[in-house]
Structure 1
């Protein structure tokens, strides 16, 4: 029996492949394109567009790691429904779903907004209704966002960390490496179900992140808040106008909140004993 990892060559899936293979488990890397090589894993070309293909991939699997791509919401809704249909048919041993920053509401439904018809909500509710063992990883912001060219260039060349959050705004940042660590544990800890929030607790500010960069690079780095629509505009050629605007709108809405912190009750630190990296630890791990 194997562990199916979606997006196995991407920023989110690749660390999960590494973490699960390091634990000595057989891995099947699920990719959109055939012909790629993933170290330590069998490769299977399958994507979210066909529920039947997904069911064929999931059948007999010990575990499946799922996350939705950055795409227009209507596409993600279709993908979520296909995943749910495939899980119900194939009934893998365990499903671990990362919301990729989407939040799960207190009533158990999830989404990047309040709509019960969001893709995250459909997938969370569908997994809960499937009867298949599952857990939902709920991060807030990814530290890897700070490696975007328009961010890291400012740090290196000007000593300024620019990001689309207000000064002093505290958030629970996590690395893709942290998500992978938690996913690997959740495949083992089938007693843990529902939402597991992943991120730094207490939450940290942009100024705290700038200080971590400054210490690592041995220079002064300050933080500068940037309008979300200006900040994310350079991503439009890669992500598309609709997806980019949706990300910027989400950040704009979050900026009106007091913070974007996980709670101690649902934190990986509490439920699993897994503590996410600090910004300083993450910078050392990626050898910036």
Structure 2
């Protein structure tokens, strides 16, 4: 690392979102990247690309103190966990960053978090994490994304599109959302990590289009050049599918999350991004373009 580079610590770097962020950061000559991983074998490609690998565990505070040594900025993302342990993980990471004197921590909540608790674990746990971060006196930027386009390319989504020509998702056909691609999330994160002057900011982030289920079906029809329909999966059916595929209670908690979103008087994930893009100027990917980039639909 040369003297002008800033060392960035990236958490959960072997997951889909973390990998996208790490890969984007590796293209920036002014950043040196350290990845906190539990299994270094999963990070071999990123290591070959120039990332420093640090073996640690979010549940072991001492390992995080060591991981933050010499770090200037932090990207914090947390594992898919709907128990209070995920709050403890975040506290360990925030405390370690504060002890190291980092100049900025960028938190990806992976979900829109409202100003009050909702009774939904997927939201309220992140609310508690945000509250702790804001009280920590650590310089921070919070990014709250909407729905990931990658959910439509997940193993439980692709067969319906391929075999039944139907996009099936657990929201009503007329529910609007600013869907975001993981690569666009990475663009937001990298831009935020560059902007220490924005410390104390919170941004709800999404993609360039507000789309309903019917709009999504149209985008798939155009991209795949065949008629694609949209089917709103009942929440109880979706819950059973996800629990069967990933394990309880993940499906139960994600179903509760979608149930909260669609029950609101106005969609919390239908965003106007003009003010956000003025401060975090990134190029966003329309859904049609994203579909054409996915090998699973070819």
Query: Does the pair score TM above 0.5?
Result: yes
Q: Are 2:25 and 1:5 aligned?
A: no
Q: Determine if contact 1:94/1:187 at 8 Å carries over to the other structure.
A: yes
CA separation of 1:55/1:112 partners in 2, compared to 1, >3 Å: closer, same or farther? farther
| In structure 2, distance between residues paired with 1:27 and 1:237 | 36
Residue 233 of structure 1 is matched in structure 2 by 240
Q: Determine if contact 1:84/1:123 at 8 Å carries over to the other structure.
A: no
Correspondent of 1:281 among 262, 280, 289: 289
| In structure 2, distance between residues paired with 1:283 and 1:78 | 37
CA separation of 1:141/1:196 partners in 2, compared to 1, >3 Å: closer, same or farther? same
SS in 1 for 2:9: strand
| In structure 1, distance between residues paired with 2:64 and 2:51 | 18
Residue 158 of structure 2 is matched in structure 1 by 152
Q: Are 2:275 and 1:261 aligned?
A: no
| In structure 2, distance between residues paired with 1:237 and 1:154 | 17
Q: Are 2:73 and 1:67 aligned?
A: no
Offset at residue 264 of structure 1 (A): 3.2
Q: Determine if contact 2:120/2:260 at 8 Å carries over to the other structure.
A: no
- Select between 207-216 and 78-87 the one with higher mean Cα deviation: 78-87
How many equivalent pairs are there?
A: 283
Offset at residue 232 of structure 1 (A): 3.6
| In structure 2, distance between residues paired with 1:114 and 1:160 | 29
Q: Determine if contact 1:48/1:54 at 8 Å carries over to the other structure.
A: yes
Residue 57 of structure 1 is matched in structure 2 by 67
| In structure 1, distance between residues paired with 2:222 and 2:37 | 38
CA offsets 1:93-118 (integer angstroms, 9 cap, x no match) = 2111101014142xxx7x67578x93
Q: Are 2:97 and 1:87 aligned?
A: yes
CA RMSD of aligned residues (A): 2.3
| In structure 2, distance between residues paired with 1:159 and 1:266 | 34
Offset at residue 266 of structure 1 (A): 7.8
| In structure 1, distance between residues paired with 2:156 and 2:246 | 15
| In structure 1, distance between residues paired with 2:274 and 2:107 | 15
Structure 1: which 5+ runs fail to align? none
Q: Determine if contact 1:164/1:228 at 8 Å carries over to the other structure.
A: yes
SS in 2 for 1:12: helix
Offset at residue 87 of structure 1 (A): 2.3
Q: Are 2:199 and 1:185 aligned?
A: no
Offset at residue 272 of structure 1 (A): 1.5
Correspondent of 2:176 among 143, 147, 170: 170
Correspondent of 2:138 among 128, 132, 146: 132
Q: Determine if contact 1:174/1:199 at 8 Å carries over to the other structure.
A: yes
- Select between 6-15 and 230-239 the one with higher mean Cα deviation: 230-239
Residue 252 of structure 2 is matched in structure 1 by 245
| In structure 2, distance between residues paired with 1:22 and 1:147 | 26
Residue 217 of structure 2 is matched in structure 1 by 210
| In structure 2, distance between residues paired with 1:4 and 1:161 | 37
- Select between 235-244 and 271-280 the one with higher mean Cα deviation: 235-244
CA offsets 1:253-283 (integer angstroms, 9 cap, x no match) = 2221232335437853232222431111222
CA separation of 1:113/1:180 partners in 2, compared to 1, >3 Å: closer, same or farther? farther
Using the size of structure 1 for normalisation, the TM-score is 0.89
SS in 2 for 1:209: helix
Offset at residue 83 of structure 1 (A): 2.0
